[in-house]
A and B are shown apart, each in its own frame.
Chain A
Amino acid sequence: MNDFIKFTGPADILAFIPHTLGEAPKESFVAVTMQGNKLGATLRVDAPFGLEPVAFAQTLVSYLTADVAATGTILVIYTDENTAPNQRPYSEHVQALRVELETAGMPLKDAWLVTSELWRNYLCEYTSCCPDKPLDAITTSNGNAAMIYRGSNVTGFTPPAPFTGEAGARETIAAHKPDGWPEDLEASRATWAEVLDNPKTLTTQTAQELAGALQHPTIRDYLMTDIITNAPDQFTSVMLGVFPIRPDWARVDTAQEVAFELMKATPEGQRAPMLCLIGWLEWLKGKSSFAARYFKLALEDVAEYRLAELLAELVNRGLLADCVRDPKKSYDRQLSR
């Protein structure tokens, strides 16, 4: 478990990126910081189509400075953007990034371009020394094999399971929606706490009770923030990701699994709260792309669902939770080796 994986070439690093992001990026800029000869943080942002180069570069570097040990940066551009012959896509943005990274003390060490058909070095224009390479070279790399051996899988986005509950579930869940009295809140929080402590206690009845409780906005807010048990009491701070502690990530994983289970018992039109909960936890883990997709599903389930609209906006503004920026507090997948 304690051995380092040794990467010997760019294909290894290109293989590592989907493992850490959870999926292969598309139309994206990915920056990986270097800490000496070790890889540090991985950052993915949307490709800056139409964005002003310097402002884009400054924004990207402002995220990377969270890695205070960074001594350099590797850049990978995923795009099928067509450019003129002998011209690289987003060349002005890369030049601006080169300047900003140098200023930040984490200079650009190398850069690669990945399209849907091939990959190649971005900085070297000579195909004699840096030829186009097939994508297979990434998937068959030693780096990819080492990640898989450690138990990492590129699982991609996990869509929620369809409703498989009993007929009449919609009415039952609606009947379980509390009126919002304090005793309703405490009862819902107690049930939620019990299920998070021991997910095996989740039955069809408790699933419908919790699904009903989540239909009430204020109770939903409390149940969501109750996942982060060791945070301060101000639940608005917790929802905004502004808290000084390391979340209990095992509890976070459990909460996501329970929410997925609740969705099996919850028909369309009542699933938006669970989708918001799952997306919010993805955001806390630093996976905003997945979070955005859950919020989109929530809005498809219930049009104009306000929490989904607001959280989607939060994610689209590039906001990150405090714990995402701190390696000691950020989410760490449990690999088997």
Chain B
Amino acid sequence: MADHFRMTEDDTVAADASPLEDILELSLLTAGPTTGPVDFPLEDHRLVEP
């Protein structure tokens, strides 16, 4: 027989909840290690080096 389950205040959804934030948080669980910000601006400046 399954245990009884009782909802508590901890299980309620916050009034200002954002599903997007929840998904972001889940995505970060499988993200890689902390590396710091990575800048990678791909711009075509038409630069050549002789």
Q: Are B27 and A320 in contact (CB under 8 A)?
A: no
Contact of A316 among B19, B35, B42 (CB under 8 A): B35
Give the residues in chain B near A285, CB-CB below 8 Å. 41
Give the residues in chain B near A157, CB-CB below 8 Å. none
Q: Are A39 and B41 in contact (CB under 8 A)?
A: no
Q: A26: CB under 8 A from chain B?
A: no
Contact of A332 among B28, B39, B44 (CB under 8 A): B44
Given contacts A7-B48, A39-B49, A217-B16, contact A314 B21 (CB under 8 A): no
Q: B43: CB under 8 A from chain A?
A: yes
Q: Are B45 and A310 in contact (CB under 8 A)?
A: no
Q: A333: CB under 8 A from chain B?
A: yes
| CA gap between A38 and B47 in the complex, in Å | 6
Interchain residue pairs with CB less than 8 A apart (9): A6-B48, A41-B40, A218-B19, A285-B41, A288-B37, A288-B39, A307-B21, A313-B28, A325-B42
Q: Are A314 and B39 in contact (CB under 8 A)?
A: no
Q: A153: CB under 8 A from chain B?
A: no
| CA gap between A296 and B45 in the complex, in Å | 31
| CA gap between A218 and B32 in the complex, in Å | 27
Tell me which of B18, B24, B38, B43 has the highest count of chain A C-beta atoms within 10 A of its own C-beta. B38
Give the residues in chain A near B48, CB-CB below 8 Å. 4-7, 37-39
Q: A3: CB under 8 A from chain B?
A: yes
Q: A16: CB under 8 A from chain B?
A: yes
Q: Are B41 and A310 in contact (CB under 8 A)?
A: no
Q: A239: CB under 8 A from chain B?
A: yes
Closest 3 CB pairs of A and B: A46-B36, A288-B37, A217-B18
> Which residues 262-321 of A have a CB within 8 angstroms of B?
285-289, 291-292, 306-307, 310-311, 313-320
Judged by DSSP, the binding face of A is: mixed
Q: Are A5 and B21 in contact (CB under 8 A)?
A: no
CB nearest to A328 among chain B residues: B42
Q: A327: CB under 8 A from chain B?
A: yes
Contact of A240 among B27, B40, B41, B45 (CB under 8 A): B27
Q: A253: CB under 8 A from chain B?
A: no
Contact of A37 among B37, B38, B46, B49 (CB under 8 A): B49
> Which residues 213-253 of A have a CB within 8 angstroms of B?
216-218, 220-221, 235-236, 239-240
Q: A259: CB under 8 A from chain B?
A: no
> Which residues 141-196 of A have a CB within 8 angstroms of B?
147, 150, 152
Given contacts A239-B20, A240-B27, A310-B24, contact A286 B42 (CB under 8 A): yes
Give the residues in chain A near B34, CB-CB below 8 Å. 316-318
Q: A135: CB under 8 A from chain B?
A: no
Given contacts A37-B49, A317-B33, A317-B34, contact A330 B42 (CB under 8 A): yes
Give the residues in chain A near B42, CB-CB below 8 Å. 41-42, 66-67, 286, 324-327, 330-331
Q: Are A20 and B43 in contact (CB under 8 A)?
A: yes
Give the residues in chain B near A236, CB-CB below 8 Å. 19-20, 23-24
Beyond the given A45-B38, A317-B35, A324-B42, could you list 11 further A-B residue pairs with CB under 8 A, ordered by the A residue number? A2-B46, A37-B49, A38-B49, A217-B20, A221-B18, A285-B41, A286-B39, A287-B39, A314-B27, A317-B32, A325-B40
Q: A8: CB under 8 A from chain B?
A: yes
Q: Are B40 and A218 in contact (CB under 8 A)?
A: no
Q: Please, what's the 1-or-0 string for A44-65, where 1 marks a CB less than 8 Å from any CB in chain B?
A: 1110000000000001000100
Q: B1: CB under 8 A from chain A?
A: no
| CA gap between A227 and B49 in the complex, in Å | 38
